[in-house]
Amino acid sequence: MNVASMHEDLTTNQIQKILQGVSIPPQPQIMVDLQMEQLSPTCSINEIARLISQDVGLSGSILKTVNSPYYKHSNTITSITQAVSLMGVNSVVNMVNALSIRGALSDDDIIALGSFWDTAMDIATAAAIIAKRLGIPNPEEAYTLGLFHNCGIPLMMQRFPNYWEIMRESYAQQSKAITEVENIHLHTNHAVVGYYVSKSWNLPSYLCQAIHDHHRVDAAFADDRSDTRKKTLLAVLKIAEHIGGIYRSLGKEDVDYEWERISETVLIYTGLSRYEFANLNDEITEMGLGVNN
């Protein structure tokens, strides 16, 4: 299932066939309100802060994130207005977009997810750190992708009772892509579902495409027409996933077969030597966000 097959002129029935009956949750109201405020000619930091402050849980998550070691503020940030002023409207809205996915997709029936969201937060934080180390503008976009890219997994779990077994089988494949294994069994995959969630929630197109392609990195990098911004975010995400050990937490594997296939492409693209990558790995692992590889 390529992005090329996902043109705007797809009918509702065609989309539902691709999704195989997986229900896309509605865009959270806070995201709708913030997007409208951003488009307003009178957009203000105070109004952005007011909208966010109406959601106590979201406000707490933002303050916890902005006070984390990653941001290294000399003083503790105690208000959303301070956070918006320091980080900028776009950065905070990116963070809200990322954090909203957890609330929208949490479900009492998905207790089996266990540490899924904790792992997603670790991957998101690691991605932001990697983007910052590489000098990539707007590292919060890498954070958003890190938290959002696997949003299709909880929805797949709701739809397919045997999804965990298929997920583990997919991570055990040395040559097949993870989403290829899902397609064989289910005729759809979590990256496609995640693409439609992000698209229906009006995330930027390059983020939507990165979500769709996050297990098709070789194809994305080989395509000269691929958005450079998307490629950069994909490279950062795959480094973060490998260092964060997602192949262990989701796939229950000791070897990251996907990374073995794509690591040379990713490192060449980012300009990281093996030595520099090892140092980055150690730095993130020491922060408690990675595993010993």
242 and 221 both lie in a single domain: yes
Q: Is 15 inside a domain boundary?
A: no
259 and 200 both lie in a single domain: yes
187 and 202 both lie in a single domain: yes
Q: What was the pLDDT predicted at 6? A: 47
74 and 165 both lie in a single domain: no
75 and 157 both lie in a single domain: no
Q: What was the pLDDT predicted at 105? A: 66
272 and 164 both lie in a single domain: yes
Cβ neighbours around 248 below 10 Å, total: 16
Q: What was the pLDDT predicted at 272? A: 95
Q: Give the residue from 61, 76, 105 where a domain finishes.
A: 105
* CATH number of the domain where residue 193 is located: 1.10.3210.10
165 and 291 both lie in a single domain: yes
Q: Phi, psi at residue 245, to the nearest 5°?
A: 70, 35
Q: What was the pLDDT predicted at 12? A: 67
Q: Where are the alpha helices (DSSP H) in the chain?
A: 12-19, 29-39, 45-53, 56-66, 80-87, 89-105, 116-133, 139-148, 152-159, 163-171, 178-186, 190-200, 205-213, 217-222, 228-244, 246-249, 257-270, 274-286
Q: What was the pLDDT predicted at 5? A: 46
Calpha distance 103→199 (Å, rounded): 18
Q: What was the pLDDT predicted at 18? A: 77
Q: Please spell the DSSP secondary structure of 173-218, one letter per residue.
A: -SSS-HHHHHHHHHSS-HHHHHHHHHHHTT--HHHHHHHHHTT-HH
Residue 149 in 3-state DSSP?
coil
Number of helices and strands (H, E) in the chain? Answer: 18, 0
Q: Is 37 inside a domain boundary?
A: yes
Residue 242 buriedness (CB in 10 A; 0-12 / 13-18 / 19+):
buried
Cβ neighbours around 252 below 10 Å, total: 12
Task: Domain of residue 38: give its range.
Answer: 27-105
84 and 205 both lie in a single domain: no
Q: Give the residue from 88, 105, 122 where a domain finishes.
A: 105
97 and 174 both lie in a single domain: no
Token representation of residue 154:
């909880």
User: Total structural domains in the chain?
Assistant: 2
Cβ neighbours around 67 below 10 Å, total: 16
Calpha distance 236→134 (Å, rounded): 9
Q: How wide is the angle at C-alpha 87 spanned by C-alphas 85 and 92, nearest 5°?
A: 100
160 and 63 both lie in a single domain: no
Q: Is 17 inside a domain boundary?
A: no
Q: Give the residue from 54, 75, 105 where a domain finishes.
A: 105
121 and 99 both lie in a single domain: no
Token representation of residue 182:
């899902």
167 and 224 both lie in a single domain: yes
* Mean pLDDT, the chain cut into blocks of 10 residues (293 residues total): 48 74 84 91 92 90 80 82 86 80 63 69 90 89 90 87 92 95 94 91 90 94 88 97 93 95 95 96 88 64
